[in-house]
Every structure is written in C-alpha cells, then in structure tokens.
C-alpha cells in the first residue's frame, strides 16, 4: 500500500494504489510557462488487491485455489500433463526463501487409458484434457509470469498420435508443450523433492508411480546419482492386467510377475544402501493416508509421514480382495484413486521388498515442483528485464536526435540494469519494469535540448509526446514519468506526473527512482569511469561497491547523495565504497547473480 507523509509518497509492505485524476496537456503547458508544478487537489484511496477464487468442474478432485499477486511477486508456473492427471502450479520463488505456492490444481483425466489399451489418445480423452488446459490457461494468464514450462510424460510419449495432441494442447494452453523423457522426468522429481524437503548428508531412494511409468531415483548428498524409468504406471498396469473387480488371483499373479521382471535390472544396479526411501505421487499419498487414517480433506497432513513395509503389505492384501465400491470406502483413498490403488501399491511393495527397505516416507513434491525449481535455478525469464533490439534502437536513435552523449546514457543504462538485477530481492519488481528503467536511462537527459534549466521536466514532455515504436502508450507514459524523477523532487502525490501513471505502476515508479538516480550518479562526470559494481546485503545494509581504473571521487560523492532517498524508499541504508581495479576486471558479480545473466531465483535466459 502507498501512504502519504509530509508531501512525499513512500512504499509500505502491502501494495496498493491512489485514485487520482490524470493530469492533462493544458496543465503541462501552464507548468512549462510558469516553471512550477500544477497542484490539483488529490484524494488518496487505498486499493487493496483481493484474492480471486476459482473452482473448476469436471471429473475427479479439483483443488480450489486462492489467487493473489501483488505487483512485486516474481512468479514461475508449471504444467504437468501426466498419464492419469494434469497438474498445475504457480509459485513465488525468491532467493534463500521458502517457495510460496499461489495456485495449484490437479484434474484426473485418465489420458493414458486409451493409449495403453489401443496405442492412441482417444478423441474424448484429447478433448477433455484440452478443455482442462484451456481453463488452466485462464488462471495462469492472470499472473505476470517470468517463466512457464509445460511437459507431457509417459502416455503422450507412447501415443502414436502425439503430434496431433501436442498441437491441440498448445493451442488450448497458449504455451508450448514438450514431451520429456523418463530420465528428465526423474530429474525433475528429484529436484522437486530436494526443493521441498532437502535431504543433506543422506543417500535416498525416490519412488514415483505415475499413471504410465514408475521412476526409481537414487540421490546422494543432494545430487541425482542414477535413475530408471519403467512402464509400471498404475493406469498402464490396470489396463493391461486387471480386468475383473475385484481382480482375479491369476491377474494379480501375472501383474506381479511383470513388475518383478521390470524391476530386476534397476534393483541390481541401485543396490540396497539407502538411508531413506521416499514415495511421491498420488498413490504414495493414498498409501500413507490409508495406513494413518488421514481423510482426503486433510491429505496435506500426510506429507513427510512414514509407513512401514509390513503396513503396506497388509494394505495391499486387504485392498486387492475388495471390489471398487469397498475400496472407495477406505479412509484416505479417493473414489478415483480406488480404481488404481491396487497396481500402484503393488509397485511400491515390490520395490521396498526387493531393495530391503523397511519404511516409506511420503513427499507431496513432484514434477511440477521440480519444473519450478529448475526454472528458478536457471533464471528463466531474464530477457524480460532487457529492452529488445528494436526497442533499444528506438531509444538510442531518440537520444542521438536530441543531442545526448550516447556513451553516457549507454553507461547509465548498463548500470541501471545491473542495479535492477542485483537488488531484485529488495525491490521485488516484475522483470518488465527493468525494461522501463533501461529505456528511461537512455532518455533521461533529452530535455537538455529544450533547456538546461529544469531539463528533467522537459525530458518528461518530450518522451510523453514522442512516437516510440515498440512501446505501448502506457509504457511511454511510465518512462516519461521516470525521466522526470531522475533528479530534484521524488515522486509526490501532488505531482501531476505521478498521478498520470496507472494506479498499479505508482509503487514501481517510487521504487525505480532511486535506481535511476544511482546509475546516473555513477557516471556523473560522463567519463564512464566505473567499470564494475558489486552489491551485497550485509548487516542490514546494502553495500554498493565501485571498481574502476581511474579516480571515482565525483561518482562516489554523487552516489552518496542518493543514500537518503534510497533509505527512505527501501528502509535499508545504502553504503557506497570504492576500489581501484585492473581494466580487465570481469563483469559485475553480486550476491544475487552475475551480469548480464540474471541471479538465481530471478529472471535470466531459460
């Protein structure tokens, strides 16, 4: 939320906006002629973000998600199109902080049933999954994502009409969908578990029984050691072997013989030396819930709980003798999971017995968690914080046209982007705001063309009234306002320029103003003396280090003058230090990442 104090607007923890009339062109003319700011009456009104509430129909269990995205949240999303269900997750991932899940959903689809029976995805299954993806897209598109990855696994891998499915799925979702291998699926599962429930110092065995395949994954000291993917998914086994309800003894025998055969090689190669065995997937959740009498409404309580091998054996013996109606009455097993629980338990039991593991822990993590952890680790989306080639050409040409020293504004643009990336954990702005900051860095001085006096106000007017291909009207308005605030007064509620930007962008304007001023100060002499900057958080301070081959006393003095505004805006003191370095110094490295790539947990090239 934004609050007004002593004529200056500052940012407070919760985001919000003002409801203030937009300034008009005639007021600007008066402003230029009289060299003073118009002061219309401004009434401030908080505009809180209300969570949206979504619930989807269709078959199976559908989780209700409360969706809320403050302006500052850096978000990733994952879509896992499995053989039995489609899962979606949107999460806020910040360095050294727990991942916050903002929206997640699971829809049972049975996509693999037709594939394992006839080799192709049926028209009904394809239509149902694509309808589900279209509804998922409506949720995803409400978030300003830094990165999204959508994957399809075993059933689509095996389908002979996979190309048709991918084309229709991509059209429904609005994002590319890729078929991943069993080894990539295993890698993502391992990443997801380590992200949610790290296992330092342990050798672990992960078992994931999906709809089409089962993954056996060995992890050691937090790293993936070896993995195997076998065609032992619950939907596949049920379709191939179990044709009666309850299953006939001969069907169970044939299924178990098949499981034993498929597990022989991985069991031999993985060995038996594991400190902990962890099961993922809905089957593992159902096993732990059934043994511990946890209802489906409280399934999250099953996360990280163990069950013994003997308990799983007793559960298998009980359920394999019950018909579907009786299995559905067992606490912890849902009505749809009851259709597949027998083959699913059989796989887990075989692995535990063959590898002599006494217990199984459950982890709620899966492929979707691994995708998000992987996107964050790779810094997906970093290109969103940089101007495109065409946009950069537009602002450079515009700066040259108004007689600006291009070497100076290029340096300011570079420094402003370095600051934007390095301070991402502090300002928490969306990547696209980095583009606006970079554009303003190129254009902040064009007002000198009109007059040196009050040139920041002339820069505002010139940008506002220029034709800038590649930028929307709203972006041009925001860039103009940022140019206006690169010197003199900070953003204030009584300023027409502040009122002119949209309500959602006012906080961004406040947070970016100190960064543009810092970048400009670091080339105060227009000599591009600062070669490299470092940024780190230490003892509650932001330490800004300058490294250069020449004296930077002027730049340090100018940067120190911004410290008060920085502290007032971010609530963190700014300390500027300097050092002389060789000309061959590497590109800027900060506590949060390295230029030009984005820091871990923040946008970068996928």
**Do residues 447 and 401 both lie within one domain?**
yes
Residue 593 has pLDDT above 70, yes or no: no
Q: Indicate if the pLDDT at residue 448 is higher than 90.
A: yes
What are the residue ranges of helices labelled H in 226-323?
234-241, 249-270, 281-291, 309-319
Q: Report how far residue 427's alpha carbon sits from residue 510's, in angstroms, rounded to the nearest whole number.
A: 10
Domain closes at, from 512, 527, 542:
527
319 and 266 inside one domain: yes
Q: What phi and psi, each to the nearest 5 degrees, are found at residue 328?
A: -65, -20
For residues 468 and 70, what is the distance between their CA atoms, to the nearest angstrom?
29
Give 249's contacts (C-beta < 8 A, 6+ positions apart).
Answer: none
Measured CA to CA, the distance from residue 388 to residue 384 in angstroms comes to 9
592 occurs within a structural domain: no
User: Do residues 19 and 90 both lie within one domain?
Assistant: no
* Residue 135 · residue 423 · CB < 8 Å: no
34 and 8 housed in the same domain: yes
**561 three-class SS:** coil
**For residues 82 and 60, is the Cβ–Cβ distance under 8 A?**
no
Q: What is the pLDDT, as a whole number, of residue 96?
A: 66
Q: Do 143 and 262 fall within a single domain?
A: no
Confirm whether 168 is domain-assigned.
yes
- % of the chain with per-residue pLDDT over 90: 68
Same structural domain, 137 and 204: no
Per-residue pLDDT at 60 exceeds 80 = no
Q: Specify the pLDDT at position 580.
A: 57
Confidence of residue 596 (pLDDT cuts 50, 70, 90): very low
Structural contact between residues 2 and 11, judged by C-beta atoms closer than 8 angstroms: yes
Please tell me which residue, 503 or 534, carries the higher pLDDT value.
Answer: 534
What's the domain range around 121?
Answer: 52-182
Residue 61 has pLDDT above 60, yes or no: no
pTM for this entry: 0.66
Query: Of 255-259, 526-530, 570-574, 595-599, where does mean pLDDT reach its minimum?
Result: 595-599
Neighbours of 264 (CB within 10 A): 11
> 551 in a domain, yes or no?
no
> C-alpha 83: how far from its chain's center?
25
Q: What is the CATH number of the domain that holds 515?
A: 1.10.3210.10
In a shared domain, residues 350 and 446:
no
User: Are 149 and 78 a contacting pair, CB within 8 Å?
Assistant: yes
Q: How many domains does the chain contain in total?
A: 3
Collapsing DSSP states into helix, strand and coil, what is residue 386?
A: coil
Average pLDDT over residues 81-90: 96
- The answer to whether residue 433 scores a pLDDT higher than 80 is yes
Decide if 599 is inside a domain. Answer: no
Say if residue 318 is in the same domain as residue 352. Answer: yes
Distance of CA 333 to the CA centre of its chain: 32
**DSSP letter for each residue of 460-526:** HHHHHTS--TTS-HHHHHHHHHHHHTTSSSPP-TT-HHHHHS-GGGHHHHHHHHHHHHHHHHTTTTS
Which 3 state secondary structure label does DSSP give 133?
A: helix
Q: Please, which pLDDT band fits residue 579 given cuts at 50, 70 and 90?
A: low
Is 374 contained in some domain?
Answer: no
Q: Is 124 exposed, middle or buried (0-12, 13-18, 19+ CB in 10 A)?
A: exposed
Question: What mean pLDDT do residues 342-363 have?
Answer: 97
The pLDDT assigned to 106 comes to: 94
Name the domain boundary from 500, 527, 554.
527
Does 595 fall in a domain?
no
Instruction: Give tens-digit pLDDT for 208-265.
Output: 999 999 999 999 999 999 999 999 999 999 999 999 999 999 999 999 999 999 999 9
- Say if residue 423 is in the same domain as residue 478: yes
- Distance, in Å, from the CA atom of 441 to the CA atom of 447, rounded to the nearest integer, reads 13
* Whether the predicted pLDDT of 529 surpasses 80: yes
Q: pLDDT confidence of 314, banded at 50, 70, 90? A: very high
- Report phi then psi at 290, rounded to 5: -65, -45
**Are 391 and 493 in a shared domain?**
yes
Average pLDDT over residues 318-345: 96
Is pLDDT above 80 for 122?
Answer: yes
pLDDT of residue 69: 45
Closest CA relative to residue 395, chosen from 443, 444, 436: 443
Is position 258 within any domain? yes
Does 59 share its domain with 178?
yes
Any domain includes 223 = yes
Which CATH number do you get for residue 117? 3.30.420.40
Distance CA(479)–CA(382), nearest Å, equals: 20
Q: Predicted confidence band at 585 (pLDDT cuts at 50, 70, 90)? A: very low
How large a percentage of the chain has pLDDT more than 70?
83
- The answer to whether residue 57 scores a pLDDT higher than 70 is no
């Amino acid at each position: 939320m934004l609050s007004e104090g002593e004529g200056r607007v500052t940012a407070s923890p919760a985001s919000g906006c003002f409801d203030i009339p937009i300034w008009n062109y005639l007021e600007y003319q008066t402003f230029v002629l009289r060299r003073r700011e118009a002061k219309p009456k401004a009434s401030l009104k908080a505009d809180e973000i209300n969570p949206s509430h979504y619930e989807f129909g269709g078959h199976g269990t559908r989780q209700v998600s409360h969706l809320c995205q403050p302006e500052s949240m850096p978000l990733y999303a994952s879509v896992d199109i499995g053989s039995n269900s489609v899962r979606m997750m949107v999460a806020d991932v910040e360095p050294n902080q727990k991942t916050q899940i903002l929206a997640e959903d699971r829809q049972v689809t049975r996509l693999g049933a037709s594939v394992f029976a006839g080799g192709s995805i049926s028209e009904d299954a394809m239509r149902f999954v694509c309808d589900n993806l279209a509804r998922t897209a409506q949720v995803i598109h409400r978030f300003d994502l830094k990165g999204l990855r959508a994957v399809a696994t075993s059933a689509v891998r095996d389908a002979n009409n996979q190309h048709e499915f991918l084309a229709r799925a991509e059209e429904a979702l609005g994002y590319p969908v890729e078929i991943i291998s069993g080894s990539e699926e295993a890698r993502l599962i391992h990443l997801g578990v380590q992200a949610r429930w790290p296992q330092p110092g342990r050798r672990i065995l992960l078992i994931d029984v999906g709809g089409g395949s089962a993954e056996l994954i060995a992890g050691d000291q937090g790293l993936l050691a070896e993995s195997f993917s076998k065609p032992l998914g619950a939907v596949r086994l049920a379709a191939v072997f179990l044709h009666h309800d309850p299953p006939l003894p001969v069907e169970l025998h044939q299924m178990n013989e098949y499981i034993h055969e498929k597990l022989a090689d991985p069991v031999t190669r993985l060995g038996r030396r594991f400190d902990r065995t962890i099961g993922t997937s809905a089957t593992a959740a159902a096993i732990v819930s059934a043994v511990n009498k946890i209802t489906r409404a409280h399934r999250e309580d099953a996360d990280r709980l163990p069950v013994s091998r003997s308990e799983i054996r007793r559960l298998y013996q009980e359920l394999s003798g019950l018909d579907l109606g009786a299995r559905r009455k067992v606490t912890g097993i849902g009505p749809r999971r009851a259709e597949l629980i027998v083959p699913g338990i059989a796989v887990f039991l075989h692995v535990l017995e063959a590898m002599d593991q006494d217990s199984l822990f459950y982890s709620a993590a899966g492929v979707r968690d691994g995708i998000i952890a992987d996107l964050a680790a790779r810094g997906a989306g970093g290109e969103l914080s940089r101007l495109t080639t065409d946009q950069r050409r537009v602002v450079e040409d515009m700066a040259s046209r108004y007689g600006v020293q291009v070497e100076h504004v290029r340096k300011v643009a570079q420094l402003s982007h370095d600051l934007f990336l390095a301070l991402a954990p502090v300002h928490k702005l969306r990547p696209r705001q980095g583009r606006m900051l970079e554009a303003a860095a190129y254009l902040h001085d064009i007002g000198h063309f009109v007059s040196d006096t009050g040139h920041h106000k002339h820069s505002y007017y010139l940008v506002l009234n220029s034709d800038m291909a590649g930028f929307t009207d709203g972006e041009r308005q925001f860039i103009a306002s940022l140019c206006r605030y690169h010197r003199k007064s900070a953003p204030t509620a009584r300023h027409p320029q502040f009122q002119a930007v949209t309500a959602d962008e006012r906080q961004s304007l406040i947070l970016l103003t100190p960064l543009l001023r810092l970048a400009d100060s670091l080339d105060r002499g227009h000599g591009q003396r600062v070669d490299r900057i470092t940024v780190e958080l230490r003892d509650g301070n932001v330490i800004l280090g300058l490294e250069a081959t020449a004296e930077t006393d002027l730049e340090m003095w100018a940067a120190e003058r911004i410290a008060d505004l920085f502290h007032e805006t971010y609530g963190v003191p700014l300390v500027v230090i300097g050092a002389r370095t060789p000309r061959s110094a590497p590109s800027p490295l900060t506590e949060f990442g390295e230029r030009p790539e984005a820091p871990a947990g923040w946008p970068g090239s996928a």
